[in-house]
Structure formats: C-alpha cells, structure tokens
Amino acid sequence: MISTDISKAADLLKAGEVIGLPTETVYGLAGNIFNETAIRKIFSVKQRPFYNPLIVHLAGIDRLDQVAKGIPGIAIKLAEKFWPGPLTLLLQKQSAVPDLVTAGKTTVAVRVPDHRLALALLKRIDFPLAAPSANPFGCISPTTAKHVDDYFGDNIPLVLDGGPCRNGVESTIIGFNDGEAILYRHGAIPMEEIEKITGKLKVYVKEENAPDAPGMLSKHYSPRTPTILTDNIQQVLKEHAGKKMALLLFNKKRNEYDPALQWVLSPGSRLEEAASNLYAMLHTLDELKVDLIICEKMKEEGLGITMNDRLVRASVESLI
C-alpha cells in the first residue's frame, strides 16, 4: 500500500514491520535496528545475503552516540557539513548495535537523510532505522514509491510516498583509518566536495564477498535487460546490428539511431540532473523488452564518476 500517513508508518515500525522509506537518495526498506525480526525481514524481502551490512538512519547528529563510538574529529566535521544529506559514515559501532545489522563487523554505516518525511518519521520513533535500498538484491534501486510497490507489492505493508528522490543515486560512504578519511563508495556527494574538508582521499579498492560497507559488490544495481557501458556508442551499435537496442545518453540523441529508442539524462548537460534521472530511466528502459541497453559513459568528474560506478556494476560488460 502506498501512503503518506506518517503515523501509520511509525505504528508499523514500532510493531516490528518493514516499510518503504523515501529519502533524498533512493527509497529504503526500513526497519527498527534493535528488532531482530524486523532486520531479518529486510534481508528476507530483499533476498539480501547476511554478509552485506546495512546503513543505519538517524533523526539527527545528536543521536549519533546511540550507535557509534570513538568518533574521529574529521567525521564530526563531515557530519556537521553534510548532514542531513547523502553522506554515510563508517564508524566504530556501539555494542548495542546488533551484529545482524553490521554483518558481524565492528563498524556501523550511519547517516541522517535529507528528506522531510523521513526525518519527520525518525523523530516520531525512539529507535534508528536500518534502510538499505528498497529493491530485490542486485536490481535497480528505486527512486519512486511505485518502483518499491512494483518490486514488493503485498510483501511489505506500506510504502511511504515522498515523491521522486531528489538525488537519485545512493549516498557517498566515507570510512576512517587512524583518523584518516577513506572513500568506500562514490555517491551523491562528489569526492571533490568531501576533499574540501578531508584533504586528498584514499580510495578503498578491495573487492570481496564480504564487503566492509554497503553497496560495494561488483555486480549490483542491474536491470533485467543485458546492459553495456561504453564510450563508443557507434561501435556497439554496429557490433549488435539486428538487435533491438535502447540508448541511455548524457545530453543529446544520436543521428544514426532510431530517436524513439533513445533517452537523454540531462538535455542541459547537468551532472546533478543526470544522476537524479539515472535509475528512473533505467527502470523505464528495462520495461521496454529490448534486447540490449547501451549506456554512454559519463565524464570522469564529479557525479559522472558516481554514475559510471553504478553503470559498471549494472553492466554485463564495459567497453571503455
């Protein structure tokens, strides 16, 4: 059921249920972090492996001590600058945070969402919410309440409708080693903005079956339709001639292909607009029943890096 009833959402969460939660990044599948039944429902409904940790959502920075300890000074500076907002901090967890939430790790991923309904809901309850993206494991992240309802239907009792997600891609994740900031996942805040506070960031590159932070698996965010990321659209069109293909392009359509099968992320060439539209357009293309989705590689700058990261993980191959 899609609804804007915050009271109903709060009652369901207090009863140990799981709901669809709007945020500025993507919709989350939310439950009480201190209720094991609720957390197990999240993993079950998403078909998410237990080795993949969840992000904890708080009502404000004043509640950070509820879930984290030994917080580095640079983490506080980042939180003061970017919260509420699409920044997740990977911090040492308080013992009260269940291992089920953190996949048995000593760190917890935590943020304060920048969404009116999400914050209003979090202020009505006395517990934080675990809220990974509200999609089946590995599928395209949802950016509307309808996406969530289409995925799960009656498997969850309510999707709180907060409209289309403003940022449209997941949060940036920053961890720490001896007080030094490390980029774990590119996200809605470009790393250049983070570096204005931290200085040059190290980038975590380890790939493993038990990731240290959410959203780090090499195959993720994927349409059902085979998808290719490339910086040479013409070559891919030629190699797959005879197939029905849909093109996802940055700022303009191409003359050599059917314009009805081309989608443009940002006619104004704005990376923020392109990122906001990325998942919504992938959902649309996935419904077309084409043979192949071909995505144009973005410039490796700002949010272009984030979009390329997501499209690499969504693709069957990357021709770049």
User: Cα–Cα distance between 97 and 107 in angstroms, integer?
Assistant: 10
CATH topology of domain 2-203: DHBP synthase (3.90.870)
Q: Are 173 and 163 in contact (CB under 8 A)?
A: no
| Residue extent(s) of CATH 3.90.870.10 domains in the chain | 2-203
Give the architecture (CATH level 2) of 227-319.
Answer: 3-Layer(aba) Sandwich (3.40)
CA 284 to chain centre: 18
Amino acid type, 115: H
Cβ neighbours of 104 (radius 10 Å):
12
Which tokens belong to 184? Answer: 């774990």
| CB-facing half-sphere around the CA of 89: CA atoms within 13 A | 35
* Whole-prediction pTM: 0.89
User: Cα–Cα distance between 130 and 110 in angstroms, integer?
Assistant: 9
Calculate mean pLDDT across residues 38-45: 95
User: For 123-138, what is each residue's pLDDT tens digit?
Assistant: 999 999 999 999 998 8
Residue of 66, 84, 36 whose CA lies nearest to 127: 66
| Residue extent(s) of CATH 3.40.50.11030 domains in the chain | 227-319
User: For 151-207, what is each residue's pLDDT tens digit?
Assistant: 999 999 999 999 999 999 999 999 999 888 999 999 999 999 999 999 999 888 765
User: Cα–Cα distance between 291 and 236 in angstroms, integer?
Assistant: 13
Say which residues have a Cβ less than 8 Å from residue 276's Cβ, sequence separation at least 6.
164, 165, 166, 167, 168
In this predicted structure, the answer to whether residue 318 has a pLDDT above a threshold of 50 is no
Question: Beta strands 19-21 and 28-32: pairing type?
Answer: antiparallel
Among 48-52, 206-210, 243-247, 280-284, name the one with the lowest average pLDDT.
206-210
Mean pLDDT for all residues in the chain:
91
User: By three-state DSSP, how is residue 276 classified?
Assistant: helix
